[in-house]
Amino acid sequence: MGAAPTAVTEGAFDRVSKLVARIKASVSYTDSMGQDFGIIAPETVVDSTILQPVLKVKLDAGRPHIKCAKSFADAIDLYVDRNDGNGFVLIGKLLRMDFIDTVNLPTTTPFAEWEYKAMYDIGNNNVGLMSAVESVIVKKL
């Protein structure tokens, strides 16, 4: 192995920030220059019509544990079908993409298959496509 590189003196990020500020303050500075230098991130355009949540459903201490990546959305609307004849019903609008369903099985039912689906929400409006239906077998503990 060769010799270790020379240590950078303290305050490297401060120096870079000051350099970027000086570059941006220049009268000849343009946004395209900033993109070329890598000091301005390229603008991200999101097509909200094709956003689709991907649910992961597992059991956590006998309870359905639903996870979903937030993506560009503010929240998801989560639905469940507990095979009780009501079809899919809205559990609620989730701001955190991590939810444990604490509803108990009916006393006469030893186990049941519950299904979940979700839709992204941006600015209190549903956007994109409904997720695929994910199911889990819930049983009494």
Mean pLDDT across the chain? 91
What's CA 26's distance to the chain center, in Å?
A: 38
**Domain residue spans of the chain:** 9-43, 55-139
For residue range 46-98, list pLDDT tens digits in order. Answer: 888 999 999 999 999 889 999 998 888 999 999 999 999 999 999 999 999 89
Architecture, CATH, for domain 55-139: Sandwich (2.60)
Read off the pTM.
Answer: 0.71
Q: What's the confidence (pLDDT) of residue 78?
A: 97
Rounded mean pLDDT, 5-33? 88
> What is the model's pLDDT at position 140?
82
Give me the percent of the chain exceeding a pLDDT of 70: 100
For residues 111-134, average pLDDT: 95
